[in-house]
Structure 1
């Protein structure tokens, strides 16, 4: 039997499994539509214990999927935020679940207004390959905290991690509470077309449009965590060592395969050379070698590696100057998918790397004529998922915040806003819609149900027909003004 036939058969099985599990979860939710606090806390605690118990297995599985993923990056960027997110949700869930009391106009007194937060039902979660554990667990934590059931579609590009998470979920939860679906792109397309009560997708803008279109057929609400070209602005007077070090960390983490990685730098034109020198120094201190350095991560697969090499070839052919940051001057060929960070000087708008999200260790450096010029450059382009500003002048920080739109912002840092449990994470425009993390995750996967309540005394009779009497005239006099 050919590999293609085997794959088609496996896809058919996974698609059939998706339908069965979705029906089971919908029935289970119907039978238990409002899990109490203790049940939700128990589910989160079970997930936490299972993840901690298998942390080394996750490091090994992700390393195998990447053909070289830093163990410490997996612990720092996937395991720690997953566990801390669970801890934060467990500490605050009781208060999140409390109904909110709202104002009642005197016209409707005596009565009360409250907002009750109900689970939506069955949540679908589509996971990308770049942080396969964290970007599955983060939405799952929010879905369970809100009292939902969840189905997780893992990426076909991380088979070892996908299998490990599937086994963990299967041994931790009943299938009608949480389930993992694996398979190729056809399984993902089928998954996004199912009538979930909410669907969260993390991935590219192009695929996000397809997911939203498929979900619209069922009127399924979506949260889209996309990407885009996240800029880093360097101010005229910030110490270059400070800015370069923090940008280098954000760009080199996971070899730049991060949706909020700095995509390009807007640097004052008279400081470009200083930035190049400072970036090289900072990178060299973090990664003195690359090829056999366990701290430096590989490109996920040949397809992505080829795409990134094509960006560099295109930029070189169009006049860019490429500065390869390879501290030990090592050969990285012969099947090695590790790529040095390459700074691209003199980039132009017709280059592919200035038109598409880079998602790898390539960093264009765009010269600017000051903050106003940098803000204009950003605002002429689609709204990014993240924006980074490096400068200590508070008035300029304020100008940057008030003069731009982006999903999130770091001032004098990169990436770290994503790890803040009490900040929402999400995009705007081309970089996505909706938010999760912390309380925003609970709210995203909850239905805010408005409840207006009164008892025996019925003040509403004042507006019942027949109309035109003195009581109605009095009501109009006092309330239409």
Structure 2
């Protein structure tokens, strides 16, 4: 479906059709779910090159290799994991009951919720649409996906390719403007998953509250990175900086889990800038002509990044160009920049950056970093580069984040065995793998009573036997 403001009635019609289909007949068997997952895998396999090209055109420039690595491979891994384990996830899970309920038995029976709604952002349009869809489909749900209006070429292609393999009652793609997105979020889904900014997440939650739709919110946040005192050798420091820089420059920093800013020992600040420049030159040696560096998605986003840097500099910060090339406004190529000496009131320290601008914040004691992180909204990710086990355990124990990668960036999001989600202002709920199956399932408690059971001794009329049993039950 290619929804537009003039076709909002089609949105309601499609939802009603999926809801009716989800409520008639038996829940989807494993054979049906596996078939849907295999068809989804086939759609991606047949169109992966075209998807990468469409995404690159929507951005202005994005590497095919980056799309393959960060989107296609990740979704395919998730589908393969679901195919390998989904049938086992579907089984009723026995639960032990206390002696008071013997000889009865209990279990949790996973059931599809019905119709899942997925609202996708523009920065990783393939992964953040079909990744959640994998979770919804393996759980046996019908699924509707609303794509961002900022990726129209990819949106049209995904809608067309999915329509060839899926009935609209199973899986349908919705494209359209902000008004379509608002109407989409007001539909009475059985579960709604939104990925995007914290500000829009609040609006989504308000819209969903009108229909009591449960939500999973994957939001943003200022994810900190820490280079700890235990990174002492030259090799370890160079490696830490390179891994941090690649996490910041993948997709030109337009990633919800990108390191937003970095804390490091005060004496290593100048060394960090020099190492960061070497890393940028190594990863992108032909800037601005390399096809491997991603454009900023729109002129508005490009201008916002420039304004953040300009404001920080006007308030006393120093901007360190990490590339030898200048910004290219015509192609929206914003070169990586590090900032030092920032004023605490700078917007770059308060707002999510979502671009290749990296504030560098020196510290004298690791505990002051922990305090700063805990005084800020809970981040979606936290990255710690450290070799000392006691320091690692201290940071892990005393901070709360959606996920953590030690001595690298991004990696905690890759394995389908790990849930992905935020906490507090960075989101609620999680998905990927079994966590995604659970998020889109109702775990129905089922108690099975036997023909003869001692509870019947407590039926009225009450007498001496009931008194004795109640005294025994109340005994501690």
Q: Aligned to 2:193, what secondary structure does the other structure show? A: strand
Q: Aligned to 2:225, what secondary structure does the other structure show? A: strand
- CA shift for structure 1 position 476: 2.3
Asked if 2 retains the 8 angstrom alpha-carbon contact of 1:250 and 1:262, the reply is yes
Structure 1 gaps, min length 5: 1-6
Q: Aligned to 1:388, what secondary structure does the other structure show? A: strand
Q: Aligned to 1:196, what secondary structure does the other structure show? A: coil
Q: Aligned to 1:260, what secondary structure does the other structure show? A: coil
Whole-angstrom CA distance in 2 between matches of 1:472 and 1:280: 80
Show the counterpart of 1:453: 448
Show the counterpart of 2:6: 12
Counterpart check, 1:148 vs 2:141: yes
Q: Aligned to 1:201, what secondary structure does the other structure show? A: strand
Whole-angstrom CA distance in 2 between matches of 1:48 and 1:348: 49
- CA shift for structure 1 position 253: 0.3
Show the counterpart of 2:150: 157
Counterpart check, 1:413 vs 2:408: yes
Show the counterpart of 1:3: none
Q: Aligned to 1:387, what secondary structure does the other structure show? A: strand
Show the counterpart of 1:264: 261
TM-score using structure 1 length: 0.96
- CA shift for structure 1 position 331: 3.8
Counterpart check, 1:42 vs 2:35: yes
**Among 222, 225, 247, which residue is 1:229 paired with?**
222
Q: Aligned to 1:25, what secondary structure does the other structure show? A: helix
**Among 178, 181, 199, which residue is 1:188 paired with?**
181
- CA shift for structure 1 position 334: 5.3
Runs of 4+ with deviation above 6 angstroms? none
Asked if 2 retains the 8 angstrom alpha-carbon contact of 1:154 and 1:180, the reply is yes
Counterpart check, 1:135 vs 2:120: no
Q: Encode CA deviations 1:333-360: one digit per residue, 9 max, x unaligned.
A: 3512111110010122211111110000
- CA shift for structure 1 position 19: 0.1
Whole-angstrom CA distance in 2 between matches of 1:466 and 1:270: 81
Asked if 1 retains the 8 angstrom alpha-carbon contact of 2:5 and 2:177, the reply is yes
Asked if 2 retains the 8 angstrom alpha-carbon contact of 1:235 and 1:370, the reply is no
Whole-angstrom CA distance in 1 between matches of 2:402 and 2:161: 32
Q: Aligned to 2:4, what secondary structure does the other structure show? A: helix
Whole-angstrom CA distance in 1 between matches of 2:176 and 2:205: 20
Whole-angstrom CA distance in 1 between matches of 2:419 and 2:112: 19
- CA shift for structure 1 position 454: 1.4
- Counterpart mapping for 1:42-61 below 5 A: 42-61=35-54
- CA shift for structure 1 position 108: 1.5
- CA shift for structure 1 position 370: 2.4
Whole-angstrom CA distance in 1 between matches of 2:107 and 2:332: 56
Asked if 1 retains the 8 angstrom alpha-carbon contact of 2:139 and 2:437, the reply is yes
Show the counterpart of 2:209: 216
Whole-angstrom CA distance in 1 between matches of 2:149 and 2:329: 25
Asked if 2 retains the 8 angstrom alpha-carbon contact of 1:232 and 1:387, the reply is yes
- CA shift for structure 1 position 262: 0.2
Asked if 2 retains the 8 angstrom alpha-carbon contact of 1:298 and 1:337, the reply is yes
Whole-angstrom CA distance in 1 between matches of 2:438 and 2:243: 32
- Counterpart mapping for 1:79-90 below 5 A: 79-90=72-83
Q: Encode CA deviations 1:286-326: one digit per residue, 9 max, x unaligned.
A: 11122220111110111110111110111111110000111
**Among 454, 469, 473, which residue is 2:468 paired with?**
473
- Counterpart mapping for 1:389-468 below 5 A: 389-468=384-463
Whole-angstrom CA distance in 2 between matches of 1:334 and 1:285: 23
CA distance 1:53–1:315, shift in 2 (3 Å) = same
Counterpart check, 1:368 vs 2:363: yes
Asked if 2 retains the 8 angstrom alpha-carbon contact of 1:225 and 1:432, the reply is yes
- CA shift for structure 1 position 163: 0.5
Show the counterpart of 2:346: 351
Q: Aligned to 1:200, what secondary structure does the other structure show? A: strand
Asked if 2 retains the 8 angstrom alpha-carbon contact of 1:269 and 1:369, the reply is yes
Asked if 2 retains the 8 angstrom alpha-carbon contact of 1:290 and 1:338, the reply is no
Show the counterpart of 1:294: 291
Q: Encode CA deviations 1:35-58: one digit per residue, 9 max, x unaligned.
A: 111110010001001101111001
Asked if 1 retains the 8 angstrom alpha-carbon contact of 2:363 and 2:369, the reply is yes
- CA shift for structure 1 position 166: 0.5
- CA shift for structure 1 position 463: 2.1
Structure 2 gaps, min length 5: none
Whole-angstrom CA distance in 1 between matches of 2:336 and 2:458: 71
TM-score using structure 2 length: 0.97
Whole-angstrom CA distance in 2 between matches of 1:333 and 1:175: 42
**284-293 or 150-159, larger mean C-alpha shift:** 284-293
Show the counterpart of 1:4: none
Asked if 2 retains the 8 angstrom alpha-carbon contact of 1:33 and 1:121, the reply is no
Asked if 1 retains the 8 angstrom alpha-carbon contact of 2:55 and 2:153, the reply is yes
Whole-angstrom CA distance in 1 between matches of 2:221 and 2:142: 30
Counterpart check, 1:175 vs 2:168: yes
Asked if 2 retains the 8 angstrom alpha-carbon contact of 1:462 and 1:472, the reply is no
- Counterpart mapping for 1:275-286 below 5 A: 275-286=272-283
Whole-angstrom CA distance in 2 between matches of 1:163 and 1:214: 26
